Amino acid sequence: MKISARRVETATILDVSGNIDMSNSPEVRKALLREIREKGVTRVALNLTGVAYIDSSGVASLVEGLKASRESGSRFVLFGLSDSAREVLKISRLLKLFEVYDDETQAIAP
Amino acid sequence: MKISARRVETATILDVSGNIDMSNSPEVRKALLREIREKGVTRVALNLTGVAYIDSSGVASLVEGLKASRESGSRFVLFGLSDSAREVLKISRLLKLFEVYDDETQAIAP
Amino acid sequence: MNPIAAKQPRDMNKSSKVTRAFLLKLELRSHPTLLCVIRGALQPLVEMLGFSAEHNREIIRAVDEAVANIMRHSYQGRLDQPIEVYCNRLQRRTNGEIEQGVEVLLFDCGPAVDTTKLEARPLDEVRPGGLGLHIIRGSMDTVQYKRAGRLNRLRLVKYARTSKGECGSAEEKPS
Amino acid sequence: MNPIAAKQPRDMNKSSKVTRAFLLKLELRSHPTLLCVIRGALQPLVEMLGFSAEHNREIIRAVDEAVANIMRHSYQGRLDQPIEVYCNRLQRRTNGEIEQGVEVLLFDCGPAVDTTKLEARPLDEVRPGGLGLHIIRGSMDTVQYKRAGRLNRLRLVKYARTSKGECGSAEEKPS
Ligand SMILES: Nc1ncnc2c1ncn2[C@@H]1O[C@H](COP(=O)(O)OP(=O)(O)O)[C@@H](O)[C@H]1O
Ligand SMILES: Nc1ncnc2c1ncn2[C@@H]1O[C@H](COP(=O)(O)OP(=O)(O)O)[C@@H](O)[C@H]1O
């Protein structure tokens, strides 16, 4: 799993590739919280295009990201979900809780 | 592994997807020989774009295809090779023996 | 040496209409970086059995979550403890139709699972964690925890629906 | 019940500078449709060990060809015979540098391999077949066939080259 951040105006896009499971979800959590709490960032978009699989510990990291963004008054959005990622959010009854977009353009549109 | 044939003028394109190994290389061999021996077909192009892995039994099927095409006076060409497919042909010293193209347009160009 | 090795389950041939064929056994340690190895082995295996792509993903997800729970709870994060995964192909005859299924058995040597703690939490509260059991139960037809001697055994079973069932399961469940 | 199960190899700890850690054991039957399961398990495993993508593919290819040979030659196409695959992580110290390696041990219960037949054929003749051994030997650092009691054991070892070696191996071999 690799994760890296890029800045597009006042949004940060976090690109992840590889699978997210118990072995690396703490890294995802750390990167998410760091970017969300960064000053001046109004939106953090997590790019899951390169992620085929997310387990429940990965989902837990996303929920932590969401809570942190609510605290800091910024937006946390997801895009590029695989069928598997969508299913695990759905079965966890969290799909409607997240702002989910198809692609980057939509995810960072004003 | 799935294999299907389509006709483009006097050429036949065989699209394969999945991996080719000992469990299914006889199917590949059969499909290849059938198309190569088909009357009026001047060229058979094997589309390996969807094939990540070929083992030595798959390579053996390709060699049989090549021999059959020489017998029938037609051409047998490959395109869309993955790194792995290229490597197994190279290590078998067969890469130079085959006509290998990058894509379909080149593979069926007159 | 390995206490698990001798304990191949022999108690599962009771059900008369179900036939069972051994497909694969995996032995590994309780290190989370090995979860991807289990998924990598299981993916082509369940694909072979004729499950739909969505059912494949459910099976992989359930096994992954169940092994993660063994690592986290049964072994409390220790990285070098033994885990065994057995995969069997099942066939059963229902109403004259043959259904293909898969049975995954997970063994660990941790302390007996406290079954009163095996509670999937209600999902209306939004908080991280506590989703694993919910995912496992929602993905498989059978989820059975059992103490077998000094081992914990988790039995997961899922059948591929027949064409009739396939339609039924394609419907959206009310949520 | 399984004759292989009791025969875990214990003869490999002789070399003093090499440390070995168990990673994975796979047990399966000699059915070619299971080759993809072995590749599926090994791929993430060797990826973890820090091999280059090309070396990863070489290891997977060697193991796949070796298991195919067991199915074809040792078991003569019978589909229900036992095969065991052990994967160990190796570390060795050469010139003060630590090299990561992988050891794959394959066991089968077929008749003793006739080592005089283990001949990779010359490649100048173009004909189908006879490529497996050539691929296995060209992909791994060590390829050792050995009779171990009533079992055949094939030992495959490959080390990830250190940064120095990496440059060297990137050169085209003369062909
Ligand atoms: N293999 C196991 N061994 C022991 N306890 C378990 C096991 N699996 C689950 N549990 C118990 O069930 C609870 C719920 O598990 P789960 O839904 O996966 O959520 P989480 O792992 O995030 O707590 C766990 O907190 C634990 O107490
Ligand atoms: N596991 C094995 N058991 C017995 N004989 C083997 C085994 N592997 C290889 N051989 C022998 O080595 C020969 C060369 O093998 P290989 O190069 O893989 O080509 P092929 O399998 O196409 O014959 C085989 O024909 C067989 O006689």
d(CA C18, CA C99): 10
Residue D147 has pLDDT above 90, yes or no: yes
Q: Which residue in C64, C74, C58, C77 sits closest to C118, CA to CA?
A: C74
* C-beta atoms of D39 and B64 within 8 A: no
Binary contact (C34, D22; C-beta < 8 A) = no
pLDDT band for D16, please (50, 70, 90 cuts): low
Tokens of B102: 């990058």
Whether pLDDT at D5 is above 80: no
* Positions of chain C with pLDDT under 50: 1-15, 163-175
Q: Provide the pLDDT for residue D121.
A: 84
- Separation between Cα atoms, residue A47 and residue D42, nearest integer Å: 28
If phi > 0 it is left, if psi is from -120 to 50 it is alpha, else beta; for residue D154 that is beta
Helix (H), strand (E), coil (C) string for chain D: CCCCCCCCCCCCCCCCCCEEEEEEEEEEECCHHHHHHHHHHHHHHHHHCCCCHHHHHHHHHHHHHHHHHHHHHHCCCCCCCEEEEEEEEEEEEECCEEEEEEEEEEEECCCCCCHHHCCCCCCCCCCCCCCHHHHHHHHCCEEEEEEECCEEEEEEEEECCCHHHHHHHHCCCCC
Which of B64, B87, B90 lies at the smallest CB-CB distance from D128?
A: B64
Residue D13 confidence (pLDDT) above 60: no
| Chains touching D by CB (3 or more pairs below 8 Å) | B, C
User: Which residues, including other chains, have CB under 8 Å from residue D53's CB and lie 6 or more apart?
Assistant: B83
Share of chain A above pLDDT 90, in %: 95
Q: Is the pLDDT of residue A39 over 80?
A: yes
Ligand 1 centre distance from Cα of residue C152 (Å):
13
Q: Which of A84, A93, A97 has the CB atom closest to C57's CB atom?
A: A84
Contact A28, A20 (CB under 8 A): yes
Please tell me which residue, A81 or D6, carries the higher pLDDT value. A81
Average pLDDT, chain D: 85
CA–CA separation, B92 and D21 (whole Å) = 33
pLDDT at D155: 98
Q: Position of tokens 């509260």?
A: C125
Higher pLDDT, D116 or D30: D30
Per-residue confidence (pLDDT) for residue C3, from 0 to 100: 39
The DSSP call for residue C33 is: G
**Structural contact between residues A44 and A65, judged by C-beta atoms closer than 8 angstroms:** yes
If you count them, how many residues does chain D have?
Answer: 175
- The tens digit of pLDDT for each residue in B55-96 reads 999 999 999 999 999 999 999 999 999 999 999 999 999 999
Asked if pLDDT for residue D95 goes beyond 90, the answer is: no
Task: Name beta bridge partners: A6.
Answer: A13
Average pLDDT of span B97-102:
97
Query: Which ligand has the shortest distance to the CA of A25?
Result: 1
Mean pLDDT of D7-28: 72
Q: CA D18 → CA B52, D45, D88, D100, D165, distances in Å?
A: 34, 19, 12, 10, 18
pLDDT value at D9 more than 50: no
Mean pLDDT of chain B: 96
Q: How far is C6 from chain A (nearest CA, A)?
A: 29
Average pLDDT, chain A: 96
Q: What stretch of H or E contains A44?
A: strand A43-50
Cβ contact B93:B58 at 8 Å: no
